[in-house]
Amino acid sequence: MTNETLILAVESSCDETSVSVIENGNQIRSNIVLSQIESHKRFGGVVPEVASRHHVEGITTTIDNALQEAHVTMDDIDAIAVTQGPGLIGALLVGINAAKALAYAYNKPLIPVHHIAGHIYANNLEQGMSFPLIALIVSGGHTELIYMKDHLSFEIIGETRDDAVGEAYDKVARTLGLNYPGGPHIDRLANTGNDTYDFPRVWLEKDSFDFSFSGLKSAVINALHNQRQKNETIIDADVATSFQNSVVEVLVGKAVQACETYNVNELIVAGGVASNSGLRKELSKVCRSHNIHLAIPSAKLCTDNGAMIGAAAHYLYLNNVRADMTLNGNSGLDLEHFVDEV
């Protein structure tokens, strides 16, 4: 017998069915990710009903595979964690019902986890977290700056007023005829083009940590539309470089400003767009010159996965946060208060 705490964590908020076994909140014993991207590609985005169906098809085998790869059985597991929200409600419910069934059948504690808390805690699986810190969340559904003075304390100091940054990437990619999800394609192209377009940088009011990307997205779409009407040749790589430079400049500028205003020297970046090469490069440069320690999970932990949910769940487990069998999905779950409201 050892003293380790093993959490089985389930994530099904969007288009990845993922189950992981996490030891002591920072060691990945297994992390199985069943991606639906191939299936959603033909629709140019995630179709909620199709996503739910794939989760139903994949959840049981994914749980079995996660246990097998971790060389454990359900008897070894101390608690079951699951993403409660935010996300697609039908997709969330598949993971929640599977987690509830396991918790009930094996008489284990059930821990509800906020998806964004999971993205932040992905950092604990690789290099740890040192408080106070600022977290920059950049995903397909979220763009947020969060101040954390300690574990499980989340203060949202800025958020997008319209599109999430990943959403803007996907829409611009679609206008260029690139496959879903478009972010990685734009990222690749951006490394080969020139910044020829002079797209806007939207800073909003002085000292605001909010973001707005819909104006930039419209500027790109309008520019392409005008060029097509005039039969001008469009160099996709130049569009990608100009768009990405605008996004990166604002994200980096606001994140560093937030670190200075809140007097913290640790910046954590999380979510699917955190794997963007332009963002990573600029952040490392600027953070070095401002003496800010930069923590970004490796690419496989930036996109949705069960391991990050297990990492966050460990601290909820230590704080006696538990759900009962009435646990329901919440597509608009509030990050600042979810711990108190359980």
Using CB under 5 A, list all residues that contact Zn ion. Answer: 139, 304
Q: Name the minimum Å distance from CB 52 to ligand KG4.
A: 16
Residue 90 interacts with which of Zn ion, ligand KG4, none, CB < 5 to 8 Å by class? none
From 178, 289, 282, select the one nearest 237 (Cα to Cα): 178
Strands 133-138 and 143-148, bridge-based pairing: antiparallel
**Among Zn ion, ligand KG4, none, what does residue 202 contact (CB within 5–8 Å per kind)?**
none
Residue 23: which of Zn ion, ligand KG4, none does it interact with, CB under 5 to 8 A by kind?
none
Residue pointed to by tokens 């140019």: 44
133-138 vs 266-270, strand pairing mode: parallel
Q: In angstroms, give the least distance from the CB of 59 to Zn ion.
A: 18
Comparison of 84 and 139: residue with beta carbon closer to Zn ion? 139
Q: In what order do the strands lie in the sheet with 110-114?
A: 27-35, 16-23, 6-11, 79-85, 110-114
Residue 121 near which of ligand KG4, Zn ion, none (CB within 5-8 Å, type-dependent): none
Give the residue from 304, 319, 267 showing the smallest Cα distance to 166.
304
Residue 275 interaction partner, one of Zn ion, ligand KG4, none, beta carbon < 5-8 Å per kind: ligand KG4
Q: Which does 169 bind (CB under 5 to 8 A by kind): Zn ion, ligand KG4, none?
A: ligand KG4
Contact predicate 200/216, CB 8 Å? yes
Which CB, 37 or 318, lies closer to ligand KG4?
37
Give least dist CB 218 to Zn ion, A. 25
Shortest distance (Å) from residue 73 CB to ligand KG4: 30
**Residue placing its CB nearer to ligand KG4 in the complex, 148 or 164:** 164
From Zn ion, ligand KG4, none, interface partner of 20 (C-beta below 5 to 8 A by class): none
Cis peptide before 109 (omega within 30 of 0): no
Q: What's the closest the beta carbon of residue 335 comes to ligand KG4, in angstroms?
A: 13
CA distance 321 to 317: 6
| Cβ closest to ligand KG4, residue 103 vs residue 165 | 165
Output 165 or 321, the one with its CB closest to ligand KG4: 165
Least Å distance between CB 236 and Zn ion? Answer: 27
Task: Name which of 127 and 191 has its Cβ closer to ligand KG4.
Answer: 191
Helix orientation angle between 236-261 and 277-289, rounded to the nearest 10 degrees: 40
CA dihedral 73, 79, 80, 81 (to 10 degrees): -140
SS3 state of residue 164: coil
Question: In the numeric block, which tokens belong to residue 295?
Answer: 């923590």
The interface partner of residue 118, options being Zn ion, ligand KG4, none and the CB cut-off 5 to 8 Å by kind, is: none
Q: Closest CB to ligand KG4 among 36 and 257?
A: 36
The residues of the shown chain that bind ligand KG4, judged by CB under 6 A, are 14, 139-141, 166, 169-170, 181-184, 187, 271-273, 275-276, 303-304
Q: In angstroms, what is the minimal distance from the CB of 24 to ligand KG4?
A: 25
For CA atoms 306, 267, 165, 42, give the dihedral sign: negative
Of 170 and 236, which has the nearer Cβ to ligand KG4? Answer: 170
- Least distance from C-beta 316 to Zn ion, angstroms? 18
Up-side HSE of residue 314: CA atoms within 13 Å toward CB?
23
Collect all residues with Cβ–Cβ distance below 8 Å to 332 and sequence separation of at least 6: 85, 86
Under a CB-based contact definition with an 8 Å cutoff, are residues 66 and 33 in contact?
no
